[in-house]
């Protein structure tokens, strides 16, 4: 944590007339946690920051970034809190006439004895980390990550991960509620969580082919202003092609049944595992046939065949060497397939423009 923030937290506590133990009691945390905040070893989580700001009568920005002033009239407490704080301070921090500075010295002297407690506390309430591009401004009381114009990153067990890139206008938050991605410049927004998936496209035309928003949850699908009970109805309404028969065919189940029968009837459990390679091959062949692309067929089947051949040589015939050389040929075949696709597209484009 930034040392400037730690210094300001300590100054606010002393200005309010609270000892570390008294503050810890009010927040419901351990004294070690408060001590770690003021030693810049950890940062209070969001709930504790809000509680601190309310206790001192400040905003979060004032709590973290404005220097404490002895004549600051905003840092005050109700009469009942002041009396309670006075009693706690007299009984806990000033029973022998020692100032808070002496108490801080004792805290530093007991660091070794409470090392285990500090580590346990750090793993729960204080497991936070933050940084920004303007770290050097923190000592002068400037906001080094909370301003809208600054890049910002925050990692917390409770709050999750929050990253902001002002140059690109992008903001990402990953937490217990899901993943939220927003682009402030373009206005786009995507949310994936327990409540479903929501996509906002403010620059979209709003037509059926380019809706401004899409929402998916357990109750159905909402595209623009149209509601559908499931994706099949949405596909039909938006003119999507119906699902191919080969896609709906349970080919993996057929392979599984064939493997079990082969094992039971021929006791070929180990060789029968080679049938597993038929599953990806089936879908590669189907996609290539649907798109009428020979290069996709070769580029998809060759890696599957190469891996299957190596597994057979290595595990069935115990000849992994030099069978491993086949892996070196996979990138060569893929490069040739990619080159052929580009060449074909270029020729087709030239032919179309010539007409």
pLDDT at 139 over 50: no
What is the C-alpha separation between 300 and 311, in angstroms, rounded? 18
Q: Could you list the beta-strand ranges (E) of 63-193.
A: 128-132, 152-156, 160-165, 170-175, 178-183, 189-193
CA 32 → CA 42, 122, 294, distances in Å?
Answer: 11, 10, 68
Q: What does each C-alpha distance from 335 to 9, 257, 281, 298 come to in angstroms?
A: 60, 36, 20, 11
Structure pTM?
A: 0.36
Give the tens place of pLDDT for each residue, 218-248: 788 888 778 888 877 777 776 555 557 888 8
Binned at pLDDT 50, 70 and 90, residue 199 comes out as confident
- Of 204-218, 255-269, 335-349, least confident by mean pLDDT is 204-218
Tell me the mean pLDDT in the region 311-340: 92
Instruction: Tokens for 70, please give them.
Output: 């002895």
pLDDT band at 121 (very low <50, low <70, confident <90, very high): very low
Minimum mean pLDDT range among 96-100, 162-166, 286-290, 299-303: 96-100
Q: Which distant-in-sequence residues (6+ apart) come within 8 Å of 71 by Cβ?
A: none
- The pLDDT tens digits for 75-101 are 444 433 443 443 443 344 333 344 444
Does 280 have pLDDT greater than 80?
Answer: yes
């Amino acid at each position: 944590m930034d040392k400037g923030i730690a210094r300001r937290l300590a100054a606010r506590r002393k200005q309010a007339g609270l000892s570390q133990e008294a503050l810890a009691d009010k927040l419901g945390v351990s004294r070690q946690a408060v001590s770690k905040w003021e030693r810049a070893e950890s940062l209070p989580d969001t709930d504790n920051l809000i509680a601190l700001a309310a206790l001192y009568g400040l905003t979060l920005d004032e709590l973290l970034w404005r220097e404490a002033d002895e004549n600051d009239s905003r840092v005050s407490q109700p009469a009942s809190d002041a009396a309670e704080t006075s009693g706690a301070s007299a009984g806990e921090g000033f029973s022998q006439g020692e100032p808070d500075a002496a108490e801080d010295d004792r805290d530093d002297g007991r660091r070794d004895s409470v090392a285990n407690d500090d580590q346990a506390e750090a793993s729960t309430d204080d497991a936070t980390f933050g940084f920004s591009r303007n770290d050097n401004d923190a000592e002068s009381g400037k906001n080094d990550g909370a301003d809208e114009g600054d890049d910002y990153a925050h990692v917390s067990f409770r709050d999750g991960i929050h990253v902001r890139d002002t140059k690109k206008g992008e903001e990402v938050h990953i937490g217990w509620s899901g993943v939220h991605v927003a682009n402030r410049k373009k206005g786009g927004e995507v949310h994936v969580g327990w409540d479903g998936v929501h996509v906002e496209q403010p620059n979209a035309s709003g037509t059926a082919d380019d809706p401004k928003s899409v929402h998916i949850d357990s109750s159905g699908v909402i595209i623009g202003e149209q509601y559908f009970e499931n994706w099949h109805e949405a596909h039909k309404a938006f003119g999507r092609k119906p699902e191919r028969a080969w896609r709906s065919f349970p080919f993996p189940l057929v392979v599984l049944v064939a493997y079990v029968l082969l094992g039971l009837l021929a006791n070929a459990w180990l060789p029968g595992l080679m049938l597993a390679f038929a599953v990806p091959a089936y879908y590669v062949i189907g996609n290539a046939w649907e798109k009428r692309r020979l290069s996709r067929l070769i580029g998809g089947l060759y890696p599957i065949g190469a891996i299957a051949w190596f597994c057979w040589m290595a595990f069935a015939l115990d000849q992994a060497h030099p069978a491993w050389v086949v892996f070196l040929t996979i990138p060569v075949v893929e490069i040739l397939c990619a080159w052929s696709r580009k060449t074909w597209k270029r020729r087709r484009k030239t032919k179309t423009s010539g007409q």
